[in-house]
A and B are shown apart, each in its own frame.
Chain A
Amino acid sequence: MSQPSEHSESAELREFRAEMRAFMREEAPKSLLGTSPCGPFDGYWGGKLHPEVPADVLRWRDVTLARGLTAPTWPKAYGGAGLTFAHAKVLYDEMRELGLPRPVVGFGFAMIGPTLLQFGNEEQKLQHLPAICAGEIRWCQGYSEPNAGSDLANVQLACEPDGPDHYMLNGQKVWTSHADRSDWIFCLARTDRAAKKQKGITFILVDMRTEGVTPRKIELISGASPFCETFFENVRVPRSNVVGEVNAGWTVAKALLGHERSMIGQSIGRDPGSTQRELVKLARKHLDAPEGPLPDALQRDRVAAVSMEEAAFQLTLDRLAQARAAGGPGTESSIMKIVATELKQRRFEAGMALAGAQGLGWEGDAFDDEDLSYTREWLRSRANTIEGGSSEVQLNIIAKAVLGLPEVK
């Protein structure tokens, strides 16, 4: 693990920081300043099926794209800027400082992109990566199935040869976030039913416009969600869309899951101190205490407890980022996923405790918009410890991969 040699590197990073700051102040659309906490989920999701996008968001994408900064660490050949992770962190720090959204976000940028960089062939990289950098295509994830949630290796989507150059897909995926707005889906499919669970899986890319692909929205307890289920009926896919080897998709799948956990972890730890600011604001509103020490000692203690956990989590994100030389997420992504999502739930629970009866509205004039949306976000946070690999699955990963505890028999 090589630490950046301090003096030269930090001088260079300082220079880069100044350059980025100047660039953003000059080129970023003024209307976007201060609009975003700049987390991975906050920005332009891209794609051809995206609803109306403000012109300034597209302009922000274009000025950053011209410098390869929509995917700063990707090689220049694929639309990135070939920067180090330390540089990317500086870039994002500066965006956060100005409250600018990420120019391009989503599963293409955060999940399939890094995975293609690692496992894709040259043709696949050239076909997809520049389009992801440009926000031209949006991706969704075809992992889960009705009978393969936490037992992901149990995927059954049938993938059978159809002539010399194609496969035929039949089956169903679930929790395919944003499938109704996506251009492409990356799928785990069953190519060998005789093999042991993990051995007969293939990682394959499917154009959502292919005949036979049908996404359908799923509503959650919060009343809305990005989730969909997606049906595959005699869907013909070129063999060249297989990433990695046929029947060896599990390796690709695991790498991608690491990127996903990282993305979820980072998205929650996006703005240091935001939890405290949010909870103190709620406390002042609901306890009718515009200033000074909060009058309810127990609520004050609870706000402090959650805010301190958030501070420790932020520092852990920083520490792990400093500790790793290259960017691939390792087992620490499991820690980040579980801590981040549970922290988020505790934050909402603390907020709901502060809101009391004002948190019980679903609709109507007795509640302001903030009350109503907070209640729904609290409900939405219940999904965070399930999606992207449940907390229990993360604990299994830590137990085996980090602590070396034996397999459950």
Chain B
Amino acid sequence: MTQTPTLSRRSQSSTPSQPRTSRRRGTDARAGYTFLLPWLLGFIALTVGPMISSLYLSFTNYNLFDAPKWIGLDNYATLFQDERFLQSVGVTLSYVVFGTPLKLAAALAIAMLLNSKRKGQGFYRSAFYAPSLIGASVSIAIVWKAMFGDSGPVDEGLSFFGIDLGGWVGNPSMTMPMMILLTVWQFGAPMVIFLAGLKQIPADLYEAASMDGAGPVRKFFNITWPMLSPVIFFNLLMETIHAFQIFASAYIISNGEGGPAGSTLFYTLYLYLRGFSDFRMGYASAMAWLLVIVVGIITLIFFKTSKSWVHYSGDSK
């Protein structure tokens, strides 16, 4: 097969079939929409619809059974006088602020280790990725709880070294470190993305730097970090949003109550309890919308500040 006949056929038919192509484009579009339809219907019925109704409910007093009563901004106003709400904000923020950077640091460090060629690389990559595959599951939260419980492996292990912290699960000041460890351990997803990013960095940059006598630290800060910055930005954004939404593991570890002493009362957990334990669905909806707004603002701030540190190839800077 040569290219010439194809070309000639295309050029031959192009002039007479001009109207036919546009008609075909029309049918293509229709076909496209047809295939899009199931998703679109699902999106409208299962995402947009509930979001609108939850926005409406956030201005009402709704107990799940009786018709919602319009109360305007009352829910939003009472939020800030609710001590448990403020506690849940504090708990969630400390989780996001400490957990996310640690998780990303772990992901980047391991990705860099796995980037170099060595034996059994495939095995290590899978092994490090595995925890994040099963990480969101209920069973891991249960295992985690058992591990950090009284005379669990962690308690026993630490006592062996003379550190006597007792069980972490029942100790209000140790549950947050435990939750952060759990999320850091699940660094697999950002790690894979970092790995892909690292592969994109041209090797000759490092070679050139070596010739100029740059050490590993220098190479990291002058080559890896700036070249990787779009990937770092992406991971930071995704993991931050993700951290705000932590629910399942907190629910399991605290027996669905946010204990001990409210130390695992994460935002979404309190939202859930408000809605389904206290029958305050209007209040829970207000909380949900506040979360949407706050995450939106944080995303915006990330994008605004990213200009100063994220470098895309082809940028003049």
Q: Verify that A and B bind, or say they do not.
A: no
Residues of B within 8 A of A (CB): none
Residues of A within 8 A of B (CB): none
